Structure 1
C-alpha cells in the first residue's frame, strides 16, 4: 500500500513538474514573440525552469527511495553474529482495513510476545524502544506498533476519523495476528503514557488475550492530569519568577482545552514540566534522544515528517476525546495481573492518581514498582532496573492462569 502511494506521489509530482515546464516554455515563447525579453534572458529562464523541474523530480525520487529501503537492524550477539532463531522484521499489516506498520524483534521467535503501546496519541516509539530496551529482545519477541495517525501509520486513517475505539479495535486485531503467527494463546502488554491507558482498555475488553499488563507513566484521569500539570507548571514558574511562562499560562487559561490548538496550549506546560524533569539531578538519563530516534533506519523521509505530524495533529484531535475517562470509576475491575512502573519524580502523570486507582482496582495481581531515579519514562531513565522488573513481573513470578 505504501509503495503504491509513494509511486502515485512520484508520478503526480513528475507530471506536475513537466506541466509547469511546458506552461513556462509556452509563456516564454509568447513573451519572446512580443519582444519583451531578450534571447539571453530567455536561456537563463529556461535553465531555471529545468533546474526547478529536475529538483522536484529528484526530491520525489529520494523520498520514494527512502520509504522503500526502510528496515530494522538484524539481531546480533556480542560477537556480531545473528542468532539462528532470531527475528527482526519491519512489516506492514492491514488491521480492520487500515494499513499499519509494526516492528518485530527478538533473539528467539519462540519466546513470549510482548506488545509495546507507545505514548501519544500520535506518538511513535518504534526506534526508541529498540534503542532503550534492546535487552528485552533476549527474552521476548518485542513488537512495536505505529498506531493510526502516528509515524509510519500516519495515513492509516483520516485524522478526523480516529477515536479511542479505533485504537482498541486495531490493537485487538494486532493481538490476534500476533497470537496466530507465533502460536501463542496470550501475549504480554506494556503501555507508556497514553499507551498505558490503551493497555487498560484492551485488557479490560479482551482479558483472555493477555497474560498481564505493565503500565508506565500511567494515565488515570485525563482531565485531572491536565489540571494538575497546569497547576504544577504554574507553581514552578512562580517559584522561579518566570514571568513569561506565567503570562502564557494565564492567557491560555486552565485546561481542559478544546478546538484546533489543544496541542499548542498543552505544550506550554507539558514542555515546561519535561524540562523541569530533565534538569532534576535525581533523574538519570532524563530525556528522549529525538534526533537519534528520528534518524533511525525504521523511518523514511516521509515517516520522519509524519513523526512530528502525528504528535501535533493526531494528539490535537484525539486527546480531547479522552477527557471523560477516569480509570478510578470506569475500569475498576481487570481480569489480568496489572503492574504500574512509576517514576518517583514524574510530574507529567501524577503518581498520586495511580495510588488512588490501586485502592479501588480489583485484579488477580496488582503492584506498584517505584523507580527512585526516574521521571515520566522509567524505561529510559533506569533501563537496567526496568528490564529486571519486567522479567520479575512477567516471567519469574507467573500468576497461575
Structure 2
C-alpha cells in the first residue's frame, strides 16, 4: 500500500550517478540470472501474455518440479509487480510452482497496453481477472486447486477470492494483510500520530492531522502523502524499501532500465484502486472461509499493522487457521525474510493442504468448525 513511496524512491535511484550504479547493477543481474536457472527436467519456467478480462496480461510460472503444489501470488501496490523479487524467492520454487501475475495497471501488463489499454480499473474487475488467471493456471498445470498467497493491497482481492471461490483454492495465505472496516480501522493512523509526537515532528504531525483518520474521505494526494509519512517515520520500513524493494528492482536480470522507469507510472495510474478499497468492510463481507486460513505478518509492520490483522483473524471461522509474526520485519515481510516465510509455508500451510477434506474439522453440518 505504499506505491507512492516506492515510486518516489525509484525516481531518485534512476537519477543517481550512472557509472557506479550501472556497474553494480550489471554484476548483480548476472549473478541473479545464474540463480534463476531451472535445470530440472521436471521443472517449468514459462512467462508470457494470456488473454485475461479482454486484455493481454502477463503471467509467469516457475518451479523446479511440476508435481509441487501451485502457489498463485496476488501482488500489492496497487500497480507494483512482484516479478523483480524472483531472485530473492528462488528457494520457494524448490517446493512450490510459483505463479506471478501482473494485474491490469501493473508491470508488463501496464507496459503492454499503456494507460489507454488497461480497460476497466476497478476492484471488481481485478477479482474477475484473478478468477480467470486461476482457471488459466489450473488448466495449464492440470491441478484442481492452488494455494492463494495475497500481498498487501492484493489481500483485498485475495480475501474476496477465498470467500467466493473456495473450490479453486486449497488455502488462503495473507501477508502484509490489509484489513479495512468501513472506516473504523485506524490503527496505522493513530500509531503514526504517536511516532510523530514522540519525534517532535510538528510539521508532519500537522499534515497528518489535516488529512484526518477517515480514509473514505481521502483524495489521491492525501492517500499518497499519508503513506509517504508512514514510511518516512519508520527506520525499518525505510531500510526495507531501500535494500529489498529498490534493490530487487535494480538487480532484476529480467527487467531493463526502461521497465524500471515505467513502474512509478504504473503505480500512479493504479492509485484510484487504493481509494476504492477504503470503502471495504471485511467483517461485513464475511469472516467464514471454507479452506485453511493463514496470516503471516511482519511483527513491526506500520503500513498494515499486525494488531488489525489479528483482530480480523480472531473472528475468522475456517477448517484450519493460524496467525504468525515474522520477526525483524515491517511491510514486505515475505520478501525481507523469504526463508522465514518459506518455513511457515512448509510447516504450517503444507500439512493443511495435504490433509484429506474428511479430516478437516466441521461443526456437524458440513460447515467449517471455528478454530
Q: TM-score category by the smaller chain?
A: 0.7 to 0.9
Following superposition, the deviation at residue 178 of structure 1 comes to: 0.7
**Which residues in structure 2 correspond to 1:377-392 (within 5 Å)?**
377-392=332-347
- Of 283, 294, 299 in structure 2, the residue corresponding to residue 339 of structure 1 is 294
Unmatched 5+ residue regions in structure 1?
Answer: 1-71
Cα offset, 1:324, TM superposition? 2.0
Does residue 189 of the first structure (1) align with residue 160 of the second (2)? Answer: no
Identify the residue that residue 320 of structure 1 maps to in structure 2: 275
Residue of structure 2 equivalent to 1:119: 76
1:273 aligns to 2:230 (yes or no): yes
8 Å CA contact 1:149, 1:157 repeated in 2: no
Q: Residue 90 in 1 paired to residue 47 in 2? A: yes
Shift of 1:300: 4.5
Q: Cα distance, 1:266 vs. partner? A: 2.2
**CA drift at 1:345:** 1.1
Q: 1:213: Cα distance to partner? A: 1.1
Distance in 1, matches of 2:259 and 2:287, equals 38
Please name the residue that 2:89 is paired with: 133
Q: Tell me by how many angstroms 1:246 deviates.
A: 2.0
Higher RCO, 1 vs 2 (CA within 8 Å, ≥6 residues apart): 2
2:331 aligns with: 376
CA distance in 2, matches of 1:287, 1:237: 24
Q: Give the Cα–Cα distance (whole angstroms) in 2 for the partners of residues 160 and 258 of structure 1.
A: 26
Distance 1:266 1:81 in 2: 41
Give the equivalent residue in structure 2 for 1:148.
104
TM-score, length basis structure 2: 0.78
The CA deviation string for residues 154-187 of structure 1, in whole angstroms up to 9 with x for no partner, is 1487568311111111111011111111111111
Matched ranges for 1:294-333 at <5 A: 294=250, 296-300=252-256, 303-315=259-271, 317-333=272-288
Q: CA deviation at 1:188?
A: 0.9
1:79 Cα deviation from its structure 2 partner: 12
- In 2, Cα distance between equivalents of 1:272 and 1:225: 21
Query: What SS does the corresponding residue of 2:132 show, helix, strand or coil?
Result: helix
**Relative to structure 1, is the Cα distance of residues 201 and 360 closer, same or farther in structure 2, using a 3 angstrom cutoff?**
same
Q: Which has the larger radius of gyration?
A: 1
Paired residues for 1:55-70 under 5 Å: none
| Cα displacement (A) at 1:224 | 4.3
Q: Pick from 164, 167, 189: which aligns with 1:230?
A: 189
**Would you say the 8 A contact 2:35–2:87 is kept in 1?**
no
Q: Is the 8 A contact 1:88 1:103 kept in 2?
A: yes
Q: List runs of 5+ in structure 2 lacking aligned partners.
A: 1-28, 358-371
Q: Displacement of 1:105 after TM fit? A: 1.1
Q: How many residues align?
A: 325
1:370 CA displacement: 1.7
Residue in structure 2 matching 1:215, options 157, 174, 188: 174
In structure 1, C-alpha distance between the alignment counterparts of 2:343 and 2:260, rounded to whole Å: 32
Partner of 2:203: 244
1:208-264 C-alpha deviation (Å, 9 max, x unpaired) = 0111011011111165487432322222111111123123324444442657xx443
2:149 touches 2:174 (CA, 8 Å); kept in 1?
yes
CA RMSD of aligned residues (A): 3.1
Give how far 1:371 is off: 1.6
Matched, 1:105 2:62: yes
Specify whether residues 225 and 189 from structure 1 end up closer, same or farther in structure 2 by C-alpha distance, changes over 3 A only. Answer: farther
For residues 308 and 268 of structure 1, what CA distance do their matches in structure 2 show? Answer: 15
1:338 CA displacement: 0.7
Distance in 1 between residues matched to 2:267 and 2:166, nearest whole Å: 29
Relative to structure 2, which stretch is displaced further, 237-246 or 337-346? 237-246
Aligned to 2:314: 359
